[in-house]
Amino acid sequence: MLIQIAAVGKLKEKYLVLGIAEYAKRLGPYVKLVLTEVPDERAPETMSAAEEAIVREREGERLLAQIKPEAHVVALALDGELWSSEDLAGQLDRLATYGRSHVAFVIGGSNGLAPAVLKRAQQKLSFGRMTLPHQLMRLVLVEQIYRAVKINRGEPYHK
């Protein structure tokens, strides 16, 4: 299975880079993990709603350009479904069973995801109502993917 994490912005914090690298290494024997970063749109700190929409749209175009047509897209969004670790494992297992071998998780920038990205997504996933930095979300997501793989394989880790 190919699992892609497409995200806006470059990881800057060393601890996040190291954490993601560790889980990517652990996932190596089980899945092919591809981390795709697209540049965030330069924008002033304070923007009007129209300016924020333009930023989301431009970042969304960059994200969509990196996702292959055959990919099953899961957008991370505050209004998405709440899944447990077991739910995520089940979703990945079902996708693999029914021939969807490319899953792309999409993480927007600080202004969220463009409507076009949300429309392209087959599912929306939320990690809760709390707002987390989008860079930290990558580490949380890759850890949960690793946990899901271990659950599906019946191997120890998930406790």
| Residue 147: CATH number of its domain | 3.40.1280.10
What integer pLDDT is reported at residue 5 of this predicted model? 98
105 is in an annotated binding site: no
Contact 145, 3 (CB under 8 A): yes
Give the global pTM. 0.94
Asked if residue 138 belongs to a domain, the reply is: yes
Q: Which secondary-structure segment (H or E) carries 86?
A: helix 85-97
Asked if residue 159 belongs to a domain, the reply is: no
Residues with Cβ < 8 Å from 49, sequence gap 6 or more? none
Fill in the amino acid letter for 9: G
What integer pLDDT is reported at residue 158 of this predicted model? 58
92 is in an annotated binding site: no
99 is in an annotated binding site: no
Residues with Cβ < 8 Å from 3, sequence gap 6 or more? 27, 31, 32, 33, 34, 92, 103, 104, 105, 145
Range of the domain at 10: 2-153
User: What average pLDDT values come out for the chain (159 residues) when binned by 10 residues?
Assistant: 96 95 96 96 87 94 97 96 96 90 94 96 94 90 97 83
88 is in an annotated binding site: no
What integer pLDDT is reported at residue 133 of this predicted model? 86
What integer pLDDT is reported at residue 54 of this predicted model? 94
36 is in an annotated binding site: no
Asked if residue 78 belongs to a domain, the reply is: yes
60 is in an annotated binding site: no
SS3 state of residue 119? helix
Asked if residue 158 belongs to a domain, the reply is: no
76 is in an annotated binding site: yes
47 is in an annotated binding site: no
What integer pLDDT is reported at residue 132 of this predicted model? 84
Number of domains the chain contains: 1
